[in-house]
Amino acid sequence: MVIDPERVVAIIRETAELDILPRFQKLAEADIMEKAPGDIVTVADYDAEKRLTRLLGEMAPSADILAEEAASRDALELDDYHTEDATWLIDPVDGTRNFSKGETPFAVVIAYVTGGRVENAWIHLPVENQTLVAERGSGAFIHGGERLQVEHEGDLAAMTGLVNLRALGDHVPTEQVKQRATTFLELKNHRCAGFDFVQLAKGNKHFSLYRRLWPWDHGAGSLIFSEAGGHVARVDGRPYRPLERAWGLLCATSERSWQDIHDHLATPN
């Protein structure tokens, strides 16, 4: 099935304009809910997901749809979710906690998966009205603008990034990771994976080490960063496939940098 990337951009921007931005910094208390203890959702998440599901579903009627809020509502067990079928991944408002506080960053994140691999990806920043797009083998771009290309090398002490202390597995002590992470120039967690991948693809940060992986959070960004020249792999070195339930993902500007970061954090004393 051939997807029209421009139509997807239009759908995402329509959704942002109609369902998300009118609620930004205007949410009532009743508009913010807990779908699980400590896990926030808003009416904007629900309405945006409903629109995206309908319009993307009309574009590709035979494709499955895996959307964050529906998966939570239906208690979908992702450990048992495996398909080679075409699938839309939808995160209607990535960074919901920021959004619920009237803060940025937050993003709309969409990926189109076939054969278990992301083939097309979109990350839209509603406040900035900027969309990053990628198609496998064709590069990553700011929509309507420049091609994205990351610089490949760098010294650990000059790197900025994100480190989850438990991402490397139980066999790597968190205290070791914490101590060695002080080598890096700066670590920052924006609590929005979509925005984090935007920063990676634009070259504004050098790496990110994630622990808990959700298809709708990491699928699109992994392709965009890879198409910008970055290296993405699970912490065990295996290729990342968004519909395989796994823990631990390291994204770095090159395979060499990926290995340097991994070895620095994980090698036993």
Domain boundaries, the chain: 5-142, 156-266
CA angle at 243 for the pair 239 and 244, rounded to the nearest 5°: 60
For residue 26, which phi and psi values (nearest 5 degrees)?
-130, 15
Contact 14, 59 (CB under 8 A): no
Between CA 141 and CA 93 the distance in angstroms is 21
Q: What pLDDT is stored for residue 138 in this prediction?
A: 97
Is pTM beyond 0.85? Reply is yes
User: For residue 17, what is the DSSP state?
Assistant: I
Q: What pLDDT is stored for residue 80 in this prediction?
A: 66
Q: What pLDDT is stored for residue 162 in this prediction?
A: 97
Residue labelled with tokens 């994980």: 266
Six-digit token pair at 260?
Answer: 């340097």
Taking residue 81's Cβ as centre, other Cβ atoms within 10 Å add up to: 15
User: For the chain (length 269 residues), average pLDDT per consecutive 10?
Assistant: 93 98 98 91 98 97 95 79 89 98 98 96 98 98 97 90 96 97 97 98 97 96 98 96 92 97 95
The domain over range 5-142 is classified in CATH as 2.40.128.50:
no
Q: What pLDDT is stored for residue 1 in this prediction?
A: 72
Fold match between domain 5-142 and domain 156-266? no
User: For residue 185, what is the DSSP state?
Assistant: S
Between CA 249 and CA 246 the distance in angstroms is 9
The arrangement of secondary structure in 156-266, i.e. its CATH architecture, is 3-Layer(aba) Sandwich (3.40)
Six-digit token pair at 150?
Answer: 């990351």
Between CA 127 and CA 125 the distance in angstroms is 6
Q: What pLDDT is stored for residue 72 in this prediction?
A: 87
Between CA 253 and CA 28 the distance in angstroms is 41
Residue labelled with tokens 């304009």: 17
Residue 206 has, within 13 A of its CA and on its CB side, a CA count of: 21
